[in-house]
Structure 1
């Protein structure tokens, strides 16, 4: 997909991706600079900062279908696995059981209570974790050997300009391959 339209302006998805990347990077760095409140706080904001950086550089990463699939799986699996964690940290202190990672988003024990703010924060965290996994998948793909099938060119007969290009290339007495 081309990031620019015909008139030279960037596309709307590209602008939204870059704006989101700057926002996440800025919020993550600002929160890290203003203080750390435990290891979960640091992990959350480092993931958000790096996720924003990945969004800013997505055009250079050029993720594959496998990278996007991995990012989606990490996001869904992370949210699901986070609900298995029973914690007594921060949020939803009125409820005997609190579930969710990095922030408890579901209060249990006296009924089911969900906090949409923490659901949003957890979703952002796991989306950023998925973006980081996408970068890892791309790095592994770059290290893999070439997957294309080799082509046998022994029967290839050059047509049109190919023979003339080879003749011009071997002329040692002329300047710039035949141009004087």
Structure 2
């Protein structure tokens, strides 16, 4: 069920992004409109990717900061005017920043793959090779 929902959402975002860009190519295309729909396309492509990078918890925490800041700053659309909230631009901003967060988290996950291993190495020199001795006994004591 989760994979079906992910694929349907990915195709939906990609389709809406490409269709809206194609419709506005005749001259009504603004930079804000283009950025918004390119972000939808990027989010859709990431959801459709066969092997998506999995970010760590630290990367997800870092991702949350710009996403929340973007929602507070009301970019790309202004959805609050005084006490009233216009829900359509608010939902559009939420989708935009969700796709931006997905893009940022995926980028951080790919960067984490390039980092050296962070686990502490374990010294195994004091362990004896019991398995090798038993294998030699099982074959009749061959050296």
Which residue is 1:81 aligned to? 73
Worse-superposed segment, 147-156 or 118-127 = 147-156
Instruction: Please tell me the root mean square deviation across aligned C-alpha atoms, in Å.
Output: 2.4
The structure with higher relative contact order (CA 8 Å, sep 6+) is 2
**Alignment length, in residue pairs?**
134
Q: Which runs of 4+ in 1 moved over 3 A?
A: 159-165
- Structure 2 stretches of 5 or more lacking a match? 137-143
Residue deviations 1:136-167 (CA, integer Å, cap 9, x gap): 211221121110111112122233468749xx
TM-score by length of 1: 0.65
Q: How does 1:17-166 map to 2 (within 5 A)?
A: 17-36=6-25, 37-57=29-49, 59-82=51-74, 101-108=75-82, 112-160=83-131, 164=135
Higher helix share: 2
Q: Within 1, Cα distance between the matches of 2:45 and 2:59?
A: 16
Change (3 A) 1:162 1:70: farther
TM-score, structure 2 as length reference: 0.80
The gaps in structure 1 that reach 5 residues or longer are 1-11, 83-100, 166-180
Distance 2:127 2:33 in 1: 62
Structure 1 residue 14: deviation in Å?
2.6
